[in-house]
Amino acid sequence: MALVSCCAALASVLPTNVFLPNSSTYASANSNRWSTTSTLSPSCVVLPGTTQDVSSVMQILTQNQCPFAIKSGGHMANPGFNNIDGGVSLDLSQLNAVELSDDLLTTRLGTGAEWQRVYDNTPGVVVPGGLCGGTGVGGVSLGGGMSIFLAELGWTANNIVDYEMVLANGSVVHANGTSHPNLFLALRGGGANFGVLTHVTILNAQLTNLVYAGQVLNGLTDRSAKALLRVLTRYTAANNRDPGAGMQTIFKVGGDGKNEVETLYGHRMGLTALLPVPFLSPAIFDDLLGIYPQTLAIASPAPMSLLSSMAQSAQANGFRDGLATITFENDRATIEAVHQVTWDICKSVADIPNLDCFWSYVPLPDIVTANSLKRGGNVLGLERKRCDRMGT
Continuous H helices in the chain: 3-13, 24-31, 51-63, 115-120, 137-143, 150-153, 181-187, 222-238, 286-289, 304-313, 332-348, 367-374
Kindly state whether residues 342 and 310 are assigned to the same domain: yes
SS3 of 355-375: CCEEEEEEEECCHHHHHHHHC
The CATH number assigned to the domain holding 190 equals: 3.30.465.10
Q: Which residues, 6 or more positions from 366, have their beta carbon under 8 angstroms from its beta carbon?
A: 240, 386, 387, 388
Kindly state whether residues 185 and 275 are assigned to the same domain: no
Q: Given pLDDT bands bounded at 50, 70 and 90, which one contains residue 387?
A: low
Average pLDDT, the chain: 91
Final residue in a domain of this structure, among 153, 187, 203: 203
At residue 147's C-alpha, the angle toward residues 387 and 326, to 5°, is: 45
Kindly state whether residues 281 and 182 are assigned to the same domain: no
Q: Is 58 inside any structural domain?
A: no
Asked if 346 contacts 258 with a C-beta cutoff of 8 angstroms, the reply is no
Kindly state whether residues 86 and 104 are assigned to the same domain: no
The CATH number assigned to the domain holding 72 equals: 3.30.43
- DSSP letter at 14? -
- Percent of the chain residues past pLDDT 90, beyond the cut: 74
List the domain range (segments joined by +) for residue 110: 98-203
Kindly state whether residues 238 and 114 are assigned to the same domain: no
Q: Given pLDDT bands bounded at 50, 70 and 90, which one contains residue 272?
A: very low
Kindly state whether residues 254 and 318 are assigned to the same domain: yes
Mean pLDDT lowest for which of 230-239, 316-325, 355-364? 316-325
Kindly state whether residues 141 and 245 are assigned to the same domain: no
Final residue in a domain of this structure, among 203, 238, 257: 203
Q: Is 56 inside any structural domain?
A: no
Kindly state whether residues 80 and 102 are assigned to the same domain: no
Q: Is 186 inside any structural domain?
A: yes
Q: For the chain, what is the domain count?
A: 3
Q: Which residues, 6 or more positions from 114, have their beta carbon under 8 angstroms from its beta carbon?
A: 73, 96, 133, 134, 135, 136, 137
Per-residue pLDDT tens for 148-165? 889 999 999 999 999 999
Q: Is 59 inside any structural domain?
A: no
The pLDDT score that the predictor gives to residue 254 is 80
Asked if 335 contacts 208 with a C-beta cutoff of 8 angstroms, the reply is no
Is the pLDDT confidence value at 121 over 90? Answer: yes
Q: Given pLDDT bands bounded at 50, 70 and 90, which one contains residue 236?
A: very high
What is the distance between the alpha carbons of residues 369 and 38, in angstroms, rounded to a whole number? 33
Kindly state whether residues 363 and 229 are assigned to the same domain: yes
Per-residue pLDDT tens for 161-207? 999 999 999 999 999 999 999 999 999 999 989 999 999 999 999 88
Q: Is 7 inside any structural domain?
A: yes
The pLDDT score that the predictor gives to residue 197 is 98
Helix axes 51-63, 3-13, angle to 10 degrees: 150
Region 344-348 average pLDDT: 90
Is the pLDDT confidence value at 277 over 70? Answer: no
Q: Given pLDDT bands bounded at 50, 70 and 90, which one contains residue 279?
A: low
Q: Is 18 inside any structural domain?
A: yes
Kindly state whether residues 384 and 276 are assigned to the same domain: yes
Asked if 122 contacts 209 with a C-beta cutoff of 8 angstroms, the reply is yes
The pLDDT score that the predictor gives to residue 282 is 86
Tell me which amino acid residue 389 is. Answer: R
